[in-house]
Amino acid sequence: MDRYTEQRLFGLLARASAALIVGVLALVVGVTLYRGGRVFLTDPAVAITPPGSRYMLDGGGGFLHAVLGSLFIVVPATVIAMVLSLSTAIYLQSDYSSERTSEVINMFLNVLWGTPPIVYGVFVLTVIIAVGAQTSLIFGVIAIAIFQYPIMTRYADEALKATPDTVKEASYGLGATRFETARVTVRAALPGVIAGIIMGFARGIGDAATVLFTAGRSTQMPGGPFDPATTLPILIFEQAASFNAEVRSHAYAASFVLIVAVLALIVVSKLLAGRYARFAPGGRQS
Amino acid sequence: MSSTTDHGAGTDGTPGTPPSTDDARSDRLEWRLTIERLSSYWLLGAGLFAIALFGLIVLTLVQQSIPIVSEHSLLEMVTSSNWDPAQEEFGFLPAIVGTIYVTVLSMAMGTPIAILAAIYIAEYAEGRTKMIVSSFIDVLAAIPSVIFGLVGLIVVVPFVGDYLAPALGAHSIGLGIVTVSLVMAIIVTPFMISLSVESLEALPDELRESSLGVGATKWETIRSVLLRAAGPGIFSAILLGFGRVFGATIVPAMLIGGQTAIPDNPFDAGETLPTLIVNDFGELMSLPLTQSALILVGLILLVIVWLFNFGAMLVRRRLKRRWQY
């Protein structure tokens, strides 16, 4: 094979691989939207109807409990993870920590970032058993917050690192303290920080392994923070292979709701990042 | 941020200034310094939280897996193929074999595609196309794995059961190791692509220009210069991909078929370490020893993923040194 044939061949292979991946994405989104949409759009009320008493057997009612459970678990978790991850990311900047310290912390963050979600689930479950509690909504919140923390810290850290040093220098030059300077830096990095928070929210709302053991997989409406709850991913996971076609169809409808939510979050994150970028120094696109 | 009150910072008690404003200024300064001090404690705490969280997870898992390790030796459990918690038989071998099957198969399918797609995005695509393709990759990375599992049930299971397995002369019910590997190969590519694109794009253009300048074709430049220069970055991306597949839970649990025997061939149903945890969750509460065994599985997962990450970090550190051409 002469070098020009080789060049054409591999150029073609590279294009084919990219096309394959884009095609698979289209397939995944398409199948979910089509199969889920067929159920969901003929009867959108399933998403706002509470489940019947024998929901897992006959699919009576709807899956409002999972929609609410997802919101009640992921929204507080995102708030907790946001506060913690932003603080950690600020600490990692050179103002507060030496290069050596931030390197060490970053190493641990990388390990946490790569930790399988199931390990967080097992960890929180172990804690639940140790304190003698029962699986409930509040532990789902904790598990998801732990899961989101390294993801959101990475985004925030990258955004803060990318702000021009001049912002920091100008702030210190006016006599501001480190904390006041950090506030200015965060404001300058806002597009990236917000994009990170939304991506963390999207990852949190889509994850099943962390909450599978910790939130309690109930088939009733969530009662309070110490009652068992369920989320959309858990519902899909449990019902996707059900023998009852009605129960299975709810998994499809739930996946429709979930993928629309996740896609919308990604779009919002990109739009917000672009919008706020106009106010950031240098108009950086994140 | 107020800039007007700051002038008083260094001039406390200067004669000539009215005492009342002077007090207000030093009060204000004190307040700012208090906030500064308090916030620095909080931020230090947040910084150490990452380490504390990791330590807490490791300690809890280690402490909880002591009962099973003191009962059965680790070597015995890893080499025994008999998993039957009711009889206190804890052989991890089937799950380990299944995990290795899935990891190797999906990486073998995913890695070449990911690297080629990364080459396309970094070196071939331009302008709008590049932006669209790379944002599609971002979307693919954000899709929940449970949706991949569902689409796997709808599309990949019939495909493997009715077409792929018969075509290769095997029998399959559709659920099995190959099915999981096909889906995992797709899930793992976006991570590898975006990391590989990053390290390809970080290479200076002089490398491309000088290679093309001495008469190499574009592909020869990519193969012999760019891939080599970005090699450590791509290699660490692959290692991180390994870690991802290794710890994947939901997709294997939905598609592998759950069978605690050593699989005969890749089309067989099986079990991976994470699905072991998911499937035996019901028994977890009642039998303390089972609970301990499953927590040990979690610890093993953590340690192995940690090794992958650590390897990736070492490789990346080498990259920094290699960048000095």
pLDDT at B284: 58
Contact B142 A202 (CB under 8 A): yes
A179 Cβ under 8 Å from any chain B Cβ: yes
pLDDT at A84: 93
pLDDT at B52: 92
Q: Count chain A–chain B contacts defined by CB atoms under 8 A.
A: 271
| Inter-CA distances, B19 with B2, B14, B22, B40, Å | 21, 9, 5, 31
A197 neighbors A78 (Cβ within 8 angstroms): yes
| Inter-CA distances, B98 with A45, B92, B166, B272, Å | 41, 10, 21, 5
Q: Identify the band that residue A239 occupies on the pLDDT scale cut at 50, 70 and 90.
A: confident
Nearest to A240 among B133, B144, B254 (CB): B254
Pairing of strands B89-90, B83-84: antiparallel
Mean pLDDT across chain B, nearest whole number?
A: 81
Least confident piece of the model among A52-66, A107-121, A126-140, B87-101: A52-66
pLDDT at A284: 46
Distance of CA A194 to the CA centre of its chain: 13
Q: Which two tokens stand for residue A124?
A: 């929180």
Q: What residues contact residue B266 under an 8 Å CB cut-off, 6+ apart? A: B101, B105, B176, B177, B178, B181
Residue from B216, B212, B116, B111 nearest A10 by CA: B116
Residue from A239, A213, A218 nearest A229 by CA: A218
B308 Cβ under 8 Å from any chain A Cβ: yes
Kindly state the average pLDDT of the residues B50-79: 83
pLDDT at B6: 43
Task: Say how far apart CA A116 and CA B100 lie, in whole Å.
Answer: 16
Nearest to B146 among A25, A91, A233 (CB): A233
Q: Identify the band that residue A23 occupies on the pLDDT scale cut at 50, 70 and 90.
A: very high
B246 Cβ under 8 Å from any chain A Cβ: yes
Angstroms from A224 CA to nearest CA on chain B? 23
Report whether pLDDT(B223) > 60.
yes
**More confident site: B132 or B6:** B132
**More confident site: B281 or B224:** B224
Q: What is the pLDDT of residues B255-280, one digit of tens each?
A: 887 777 777 777 777 788 888 888 87
For residue A211, give the 3-state DSSP assignment.
Answer: coil
Provide, as residue numbers in chain B, all residues whose Cβ is less than 8 Å from the Cβ of A176: 1, 6
Question: What residue ranges do the domains of chain B occupy?
Answer: 5-71, 76-322
φ, ψ of residue B214 in degrees (nearest 5)? -90, 10
pLDDT at A190: 84
Angstroms from A279 CA to nearest CA on chain B? 17
Q: What is the pLDDT of residues A158-212, one digit of tens each?
A: 888 888 888 888 888 998 888 888 888 888 888 888 888 988 998 899 888 888 8
Angstroms from B41 CA to nearest CA on chain A? 10
Kindly state the average pLDDT of the residues A18-37: 89
Kindly state the average pLDDT of the residues A139-144: 91
Q: Identify the band that residue A286 occupies on the pLDDT scale cut at 50, 70 and 90.
A: very low
Q: Count other C-beta atoms under 10 Å from residue A257's C-beta.
A: 21
Task: Say how far apart CA B275 and CA B169 lie, in whole Å.
Answer: 28
Nearest to A14 among B116, B281, B291 (CB): B116
pLDDT at A81: 93
Q: What is the pLDDT of residues B126-142, one digit of tens each?
A: 888 888 888 888 888 88
Q: What is the DSSP letter of B202?
A: T
Q: Identify the band that residue A88 occupies on the pLDDT scale cut at 50, 70 and 90.
A: very high
Question: What residue ranges do the domains of chain A occupy?
Answer: 43-283
Provide, as residue numbers in chain B, all residues whose Cβ is less than 8 Å from the Cβ of A265: 142
Contact A108 B113 (CB under 8 A): no
| Inter-CA distances, A278 with A72, A270, A273, A281, B18, Å | 33, 13, 9, 8, 44
pLDDT at B20: 61
Q: Identify the band that residue A64 occupies on the pLDDT scale cut at 50, 70 and 90.
A: confident
Amino acid in position B150: L
Q: Identify the band that residue B116 occupies on the pLDDT scale cut at 50, 70 and 90.
A: very high
Burial group, residue A130, by CB count within 10 angstroms (0-12, 13-18, 19+):
exposed
Task: Say how far apart CA B299 and CA B302 lie, in whole Å.
Answer: 5
Q: Identify the band that residue B13 occupies on the pLDDT scale cut at 50, 70 and 90.
A: very low
pLDDT at A57: 67
Q: What is the pLDDT of residues B191-211, one digit of tens each?
A: 889 888 888 888 888 888 888
Query: How far is the first Cα of chain A from the last one, in angstroms, to the nearest whole number?
Result: 43
**More confident site: A280 or B3:** A280
Residue from A154, A137, A114 nearest A214 by CA: A137
Kindly state the average pLDDT of the residues B9-30: 63
Task: Say how far apart CA B2 and CA A200 lie, in whole Å.
Answer: 33
| Inter-CA distances, B25 with A9, A147, A183, B22, B258, Å | 73, 45, 22, 5, 71
Kindly state the average pLDDT of the residues B76-105: 79
What's the CATH number of domain A43-283, 3.50.50.60, 1.20.1250.20, 3.30.70.1230, 1.10.3720.10?
Answer: 1.10.3720.10
A 249-268 near B (Cβ less than 8 A): 251-252, 255, 258-259, 262-263, 265-266
Q: Identify the band that residue A83 occupies on the pLDDT scale cut at 50, 70 and 90.
A: very high
| CATH 1.10.3720.10 for domain B76-322 | yes
Q: What is the DSSP letter of B266?
A: T
pLDDT at A75: 93
**More confident site: B127 or B52:** B52
Task: Say how far apart CA B145 and CA A117 lie, in whole Å.
Answer: 11
pLDDT at B1: 40
Mean pLDDT across chain A, nearest whole number?
A: 84
Q: Which ranges of A189-244 does DSSP label H, i.e. alpha helix? A: 190-206, 232-239
Least confident piece of the model among A71-75, B113-117, B313-317: B313-317
User: What count of residues does chain B have?
Assistant: 325
Q: What percent of chain B has pLDDT over 90?
A: 8
For residue A216, give the 3-state DSSP assignment.
Answer: strand
pLDDT at A279: 58
Which of A20, A28, A100, A203 would you mutate first to test chain B, the one with the most B CBs within 10 A? Answer: A28
Residue from B253, B267, B260 nearest B177 by CA: B267
Report whether pLDDT(A234) > 70.
yes
Contact A116 B138 (CB under 8 A): no
Q: What residues contact residue B236 under an 8 Å CB cut-off, 6+ apart? A: B195, B311, B312, B313, B315, B316, B319
A36 neighbors A51 (Cβ within 8 angstroms): no
Angstroms from B235 CA to nearest CA on chain A? 16
Contact B219 A10 (CB under 8 A): yes
Residue from A188, A165, A182, A189 nearest A97 by CA: A182
**More confident site: B41 or A52:** B41
Kindly state the average pLDDT of the residues A7-12: 87
pLDDT at B282: 63
